[in-house]
Structures are given as structure tokens and as C-alpha cells.
Structure 1
Amino acid sequence: MPLRVSAISFLNPAPLLYNFEHEPTASELRTRYDIAYTTPAQCAAQLHAGAADLGLIPIAELDEHLAIVPGCTIASTSEVRSILLLVKNPHAFSVDEALHQVRTVAADSASRSSLAYAKVLFAHFHGNRPGFVQQPAEPLSMLEHADAALLIGDPALLAREHRQAIDAAQPHLLWLDLAQLWRDRTGLPWVAAVWAVRPEALGHHSGVTAQQLIDDTNNSRIAGKANVETLVAEWAPRIGLPDQTVRTYLTQNIHYDLDDDCLRAIQLFRKLAAGIDALPPLNHLPILASDELASGI
């Protein structure tokens, strides 16, 4: 029985899924994995409910019942561009003061990690706990009745492409990158998601061992990073972005290697989000001792 996989239908995981979606590897991998596409929040819900065995899930949804698959992540070491916080600032406050003044945030509900990051940043670094209201990802509508809008994924990238029109309709906006805010305040990468697996699904049930899973996911990551131009050609017309925007996003804005800094960032995020120091430790599948793969673990 193939391992049931819940994956994300955004641009940013495209390199991680490369071998699963492109020949000559896709046909073979379909014998081991059955992939369904949804939002990050639904990936986590399906994994927790037992409707999926493996998921590319927000780090806010990790718990001691799941195991992190080493090597792969969706992260950023500076500006990510796809997590955008728009803040009304008619009085030309500094960024810190403007964030302190926010009382309501209209938020796209696609990613629980991004919502959790925003709440952590407001509470721990700006002494503020604004109310969050979920709305469809349309920036001008979101800002009609809220002090700020949080856009996630492809809608955030599209908003940046149309910044001139948005600024004309809603002047005095601060355009803030959530990953850059996190980096500036912690010195650590912003980490959105990792592959997580229900350990009991491995082995006899699916025929996929921990070692095979680590091999397959990391080989796909390596192939995706080596075939960026193929992904640019596929995704630029699909979401209506210029080739160079997609190329820069996949090669400079997103960091795909789950390294030690990313693991430290996950630990800090969990601590701040939970508000307690003594959290149950997270599980990790045994790390593959390959030079090429270990460079991203």
C-alpha cells in the first residue's frame, strides 16, 4: 500500500516535489507514494487525523507523535517575499511603533505557521496582541476594516507585483516581510514547513522504510534545486509571475536545506509560541550518513 502523502499546492515546495512530479523518477515513486495536494493547514489536519501518512506541514503543527524527516524544509535566511504583512501607517511611525499600534489583522488562513509567527512577533517583540480575523487573500478588501493584512504564498508574491496599484488605492502602507522581521529579531532563519511522518506508517504497512523515505525526499530536493529552469518554465505562467521573479524566489528567497540553524529556529519558535520552556522533544528519523545529503541536514 503506497504511503499517503499530503503536499502543498504552492510554488515554494516545487523543488522538494520535483522527482515526484517529473520523469524518469515520478512513475517509480508513484509505486511507493500516493500524493494529494491541499493547503499547509489541511496537510497538518490530514496527518493528525490519520488520513495521511506523510505531510509537508507547518512547524506549528509538529508534535511528539510525528517524526521529522531530515534534510528538507521550506525556510528563508533573509527575505522570503511570500509572507507579507501590510500595515496601515498614516502617521509615519517607525516599524516598531506601527506594529505596536496594530489592533486588528486580516489574515489569509492558508498557513497556520505564518499566523503563529505573526502572533509571536507581535507578542514577544512588540508587546502587542492584536485580534486576527480570517479573510480571503485580497489585500485591499482585507485592509478595509483591519489595521493590517497578512498575505501568504502565491497571493503575497502577486501583491508585490501589483504594489503600485495597491499603494495608490491604500496609501501609507508598510510592506513588511515576515521572514525578515523574524531574522532581524532572532538572528535565525524563518522556517515554515518540514516533511513529517507518522512513524507507524513506515515499514510493513507501506513497504517504505525510514531509509527509503529519507533517500526519496532528499534526492527530490537535490534534483529540484538542479532543475530550477524547468520549474520556472512551468510555474511562471501558472501563477502569472515574471520568469525572473520565480527564479529569484526559488534560488534566493527560499532555503530548502534543514540545517542546524533551521532546527534551532524550530526550537525557538515552539518555545515562544507555547509560552513555556519544557516542551516534549520532537522526534527525528535516523539521519542518513551521506555527504551530499548530510550537507542539508
Structure 2
Amino acid sequence: MTIQLGKIGYLNVLPIYHPIEKNLIENDFNIVSGPPSALNKLMDAGKLDLSANSSIEYARHFEKYYLIPHIAIGSCGPVQSVLLLSRYPKEELEGKTILVSSQTHTSAALLQILLSEFWKIKVNFVSGDATKELEEGELPDAILAIGDEALNLRYHPEYQSRVDLGEEWRNMTGLPFIFGVWIVRRESYHASPEKIRIACEKLIEGKDWGNEHIHDMCVLAADGSCLNEEEMCSYFDGLVYDLGSKEIQGLELFYQHLKKNDLISTIPELVFIP
């Protein structure tokens, strides 16, 4: 059984996957890379055994999955790669239209929560490709950009208002925000529990290796990026890769807000791999 492992195709998971892909940590994964929305669909369809997935994917189908402990992707403050970029101050967005990347589920839900519960602003949403629209000369009122696109667009001259959603969540709640979790399909686990447990251990080893070599990862990530080495180190410094008690509190609070806004039908129980 070759483990089908999902990888978010953004720089933020580089420290975890680099040692695995370079076989610095011995493994037999078949790695499938893609945006969060694509990995959510593959995981739900049973085409991956374990994967990094949107936090909301676990909430929507938690009966299918186990959480992998001690590993997540989030922030406790500015995340820099989940940004609301606007041509207007946030307070003037009432009635305006926000272009939301089709690659995101969790960040879009977080934005809806911030708008409805904390900012008390009503807007319209459309889904699309912000980079493509900007290249074609279109200027949406506002854009929710995530991942590498957010890093590339954050200083766009037409979008002077920039709101970091990770920072806004921390300001409103005092807790980290967990954008992604690593999950295992329960069917895969019960078919081969020992092999899946070893695979989970390899991911944790990857995280630990990445933390120990984070400066090297900054240098590697900056090569070919719009960010220089110093900016890339600042970016990685703002990320959270652990799933400790505070991170779990933040995740549980997010799920409560999802239920309150009818974005999920049931608040999920956090069930970790046996």
C-alpha cells in the first residue's frame, strides 16, 4: 500500500514537505499537490489517504476523518498570505463586491464570519481568478487573496486597504487561527493502521525538521519569489505549525462561528487518530 499524501501547493508547507520530497526522511509517499479546494475534493472522494486540508473540510465531513495530532497550519497574528485587498477602506465596503479565490474554502468562511459578526458589513461575493482579472485590466472592488497569490498582490497600487485575516481573528478572539489541518481517512486507517500511523509520524518528523532548518527554508523559498530572504523569514515567523491547546481552542471557536452562520450543520467533535 503506497500512501497517497496530499500537499497544499503553496510555500507555507515547504518546511514540512521539503525533507519528505527530498527523502531526507525516508518514506514511500505518493505526493499529490494542489490548492486547498482541490485537495478537499480528492480527500472527500477517497482518492487520498491523508492530506493537508482546509479546516472547514474536516468540519463538513468529520465522520470520514481522523485528525493528525501536533500538526497544523495557521497563525497567531498576521499570516500575510490571507488578505482582504480593497480599493476602499474596510468601513466603506457596505454593498460592494468582493472577488474570492475559488481555491479557498476556510479563508472565505473566515471572511464571512468577520463581515457578519465583527464588522457588521454586508457585501456581495463572486468567485474568480484575481490575478487573471487584474492582468486583463479589471479592478474588482475588493479581493480575498490567499497563498502565494496574496504574497504577490499585497502591495498592488490599486489596493491600498489591506486587511490580514489572521491578524483580525487574533484581535477579535485572542486566539490563533488554524487555516489547515492534516487529516486521515478513517477507511484508510482501518485498512492499514500501522502503515498510516508510521505515515503520520513521518509528517511530524518533517515538521520538526522544517522547524530546525527554518532559515534554510526561507532562503530556498525566496529563490524565485517576489519576496526577498528577509521578507520570507518574516512570513514564516508568523506561521504556526503546531496544534496545541491554544490552537485547538481557536479551531473549536471557529467551528462554533461556522455553525452560528449556517456554514456547517453540526459542530464537529475533534477526533484524533487512535
Q: TM (normalized to structure 2)?
A: 0.89
Aligned length: 267
Shift in Å, 1:24:
3.0
1:151 is matched with 145
Cα-Cα RMSD: 2.3
Asked whether the 8 Å contact 1:2–1:207 carries over to 2, the reply is no
1:267 is matched with 252
Q: Structure 1 260/139 Cα, relative in aligned 2: closer, same or farther at 3 Å? A: farther
Give the alignment of 1:138-287 within 5 angstroms.
138=131, 141=134, 144=138, 146-160=140-154, 163=155, 166-167=156-157, 170=158, 173-202=160-189, 204-205=191-192, 208-210=195-197, 212-250=198-236, 252-275=237-260, 279-286=267-274
Q: Does 1:13 align with 2:9?
A: no
Paired AA for residue 56 in structure 1: A
Moved more, 173-182 or 132-141: 132-141
Asked whether the 8 Å contact 1:102–1:148 carries over to 2, the reply is no
Asked whether the 8 Å contact 2:188–2:196 carries over to 1, the reply is no
Paired AA for residue 198 in structure 1: R
Paired AA for residue 105 in structure 1: I
* Separation in 1, partners of 2:151, 2:191: 42
Residue ranges of structure 1 left out of the alignment (5+ in a row) = 287-297
Q: Structure 1 102/87 Cα, relative in aligned 2: closer, same or farther at 3 Å? A: farther
Residue ranges of structure 2 left out of the alignment (5+ in a row) = none
Q: Does 1:44 align with 2:32?
A: no
> Structure 1 vs Structure 2: percent identity of aligned residues?
26
Q: Structure 1 124/139 Cα, relative in aligned 2: closer, same or farther at 3 Å? A: farther
Shift in Å, 1:79:
0.5
SS in 2 for 1:111: coil
Q: TM (normalized to structure 1)?
A: 0.82
Q: Structure 1 140/203 Cα, relative in aligned 2: closer, same or farther at 3 Å? A: closer
Paired AA for residue 34 in structure 1: N
Q: Deviations over 1:220-266 (max 9, x none)?
A: 1010111123322322123332111112211x211111111111111
Give the alignment of 1:58-73 within 5 angstroms.
58-62=54-58, 63-73=62-72
Q: Which runs of 4+ in 1 moved over 3 A?
A: 142-146, 203-207
* Separation in 1, partners of 2:84, 2:149: 12
